[in-house]
Structure 1
Amino acid sequence: MLGDEKKVQAVLENLETAPLSEAERVLFRFVAKVNRESEHIQQEDVNAVKAAGWTDEAIYDAITVCALFNFYNRWADATGVREHPVEVYERSAERLATGGYAGPESPSGK
């Protein structure tokens, strides 16, 4: 969905009618349950995501990203950190799109 703002907006408006594959829809439903009802996750929930074609690693990553964003949001709310101007997000998005999350390699190659 990177770079497809219309698709992201469609998912935010209605997951069930958004232009996604069924596998993506299954994963997003699972993440919604992780987000809102993590104490009710059962093996059958994980099995449904696997049946849609997702690997253990992908499921682990989805859970981790969901948990981290929950942490970040609560931390930001509790400490009073507020949103940046749009320009800051745009610069960050450009940097991530071109260079990813890893920083530049040091001159020594380490």
Structure 2
Amino acid sequence: MSITSADICHAADQLNGFVGFNTKTGKHIVRFSEDSFGMDVAEESITPACEFVWREQDEQVMNLSRVRLQILLEQNVNDRLNVSEPLLAYMRRQELPEIAAQRRLKTVEETPAN
């Protein structure tokens, strides 16, 4: 079975959890509730994981960032994050350019509850 760019983008949209930047440690951390971050994570840095992996290229195009995906993979909670094979294949294929797609950022209110 071949994996398409659409499969990879769909897998990115299915990621669970929230990512926040911990100012004390200087690292991004993952939690599965917005309320579980603590005081060392600024509320404005908390982003759904399915949006964290996208980096704005310009006003209409976003890139699926391998650097941001790697941050999630380093958390070692792939099952809870819902990291699936299309994303793992994307990470293995470093020789290919990052996927660029026309999309808009989803707000927390638009993100389905976990």
- What is the TM-score of this pair, normalised by structure 1? 0.24
Structure whose CA Rg is larger: 1
More contact order relative to length (CA 8 Å, sep ≥ 6) = 2
- Higher helix proportion, which one? 1
- Higher strand proportion, which one? 2
